[in-house]
Chains A and B, each alone.
Chain A
Amino acid sequence: MDEGCGCGRVLCAGEVNGRVRREASVHRHKGGERKIPPEVMGVSWVIETERSQNSIEQLIESGGGTKIGLFVVDSSTYRPVDQLANNIGQLNVLHHSNFPESTFSLAVTATNDPKQPPPKSISDRGFDLILSKLSGALQMDSSGKFDASGTEYSFKDFRVRVGTVTQGGSVKGVVVEIEYTPTWVANQASMMLSEFINMFFPEQTASKPEIITKPTSDLYTALDTLNQYQQIFNRLRKKA
Chain B
Amino acid sequence: MYGHGAGGSGYSMGGGGPLGGANLMGRKDKGISVALEPYGEWKIQEIGYDGMEKFIQPESFADHVGKLARKIDWRTLVDSDQSYDNPNLLPEDELPEEEDDEEKLEDETEKEKKEFPPEVGPWHDVAKNLHESLQHINMMLDGLQVMQHLDYLKPLSIGDPIQINEATQEAAVIANNGKAFQWVWKRKALNEVQNAIEASNANRRHLAVGGEASIDETTSLTNLFFREIEELCLQWRIRKTGDHLYGALGYKRYGQRFEPGEIFDITRRSVPINYSDKDGKLQQTILQISVPNDLIRRSKIFVSIFKDDMMSKAIHTSDEANLEYMKVDMKQVDNLYWNDALSWAQETLICRDTFNQLATDAVHLKQRMSSFRDGVLIVALHDDYLLRIELKNYPFKAGDLPDGGDPYLNRALRQMIVNHHAKKVIRSQMFVEMPLTMLNEHLDMRGPNAFTQYEIDERAKRQTCVLEKLLSVASHQRLVKLTVDTLIRYQNECRDPQVKWRWLRCAPTNSQVMIHIVDPHFDFLMGRVTSYLQIDTDCVTLRTKDGKTIDCYRDADRLFNTLKYVNITYFLQAAGTLGKTGWGYHILHGNNNAIDVDGNPPTALLVQCDEHKGAPHSIPHIAIRKSTSRSCPMIRTSITRSFHSNFEKLPGKSFCRKFDNLCAILKD
| A123 with B447: CB separation less than 8 A | yes
Residues in B with CB closer than 8 Å to A103 are 447
* Of A23, A101, A104, the contact of B549 (CB 8 Å cutoff): A23
Is B128's CB within 8 Å of the partner chain A?
A: no
| B539 with A124: CB separation less than 8 A | no
Please measure, in the bound complex, the distance between the C-alpha atom of A208 and the C-alpha atom of B336, giving whole angstroms. 87
Q: Closest residue to A128 on the B side, CB-wise? A: B436
Among B81-89, B196-204, B448-456, B481-489, the stretch that binds chain A is B448-456
Is A13's CB within 8 Å of the partner chain B?
A: yes
Q: Closest residue to A41 on the B side, CB-wise? A: B452
A65-103 vs B, Cβ < 8 Å mask (1 yes, 0 no): 000000000000000000000000000000001111111
| B454 with A38: CB separation less than 8 A | yes
Residues in A with CB closer than 8 Å to B452 are 38, 40-41, 98-99
Q: Quick one: given A18-B366, A100-B453, are A11 and B382 in contact (CB under 8 Å)?
A: yes
Q: Quick one: given A98-B452, A222-B450, are A127 and B436 in contact (CB under 8 Å)?
A: yes
Interface of chain B, helix or strand or loop or mixed? Answer: loop
| A124 with B455: CB separation less than 8 A | no
Residues in A with CB closer than 8 Å to B367 are 10-11, 17-18
- Total interface residues in chain B, CB < 8 Å: 28
* Of A39, A122, A129, the contact of B449 (CB 8 Å cutoff): A122
| B380 with A11: CB separation less than 8 A | yes
| B456 with A13: CB separation less than 8 A | no
Residues in B with CB closer than 8 Å to A11 are 367-368, 380, 382
| B453 with A124: CB separation less than 8 A | no
| B551 with A124: CB separation less than 8 A | no
Of the candidates B451, B456, B549, the one having the most CB atoms from chain A within 10 angstroms of its own CB is B451
A22-45 vs B, Cβ < 8 Å mask (1 yes, 0 no): 011100000000000111110000
Residues in B with CB closer than 8 Å to A41 are 450, 452
Is B442's CB within 8 Å of the partner chain A?
A: yes
| A40 with B454: CB separation less than 8 A | yes
Residues in A with CB closer than 8 Å to B251 are none
| A123 with B453: CB separation less than 8 A | no
B456-483 vs A, Cβ < 8 Å mask (1 yes, 0 no): 1000000000000000000000000000
Is B437's CB within 8 Å of the partner chain A?
A: yes
Q: List 9 A-B contacts (CB under 8 A).
A: A10-B367, A24-B551, A38-B454, A99-B450, A99-B452, A101-B446, A122-B450, A124-B436, A129-B436
Q: Which residues of B contact A (CB under 8 A)?
A: 366-369, 380, 382, 435-437, 442, 445-456, 538-539, 549, 551, 553-554
Question: What 6 pairs across the A-B complex have the smallest Cβ distances?
Answer: A124-B447, A126-B436, A222-B450, A13-B553, A101-B447, A38-B454
Q: List 15 additional contacts besides A101-B447, A125-B447, A129-B436; criterion CB under 8 Å.
A: A16-B538, A18-B366, A25-B551, A37-B454, A39-B454, A40-B452, A97-B453, A98-B452, A122-B449, A123-B447, A123-B448, A124-B442, A124-B446, A124-B447, A126-B436
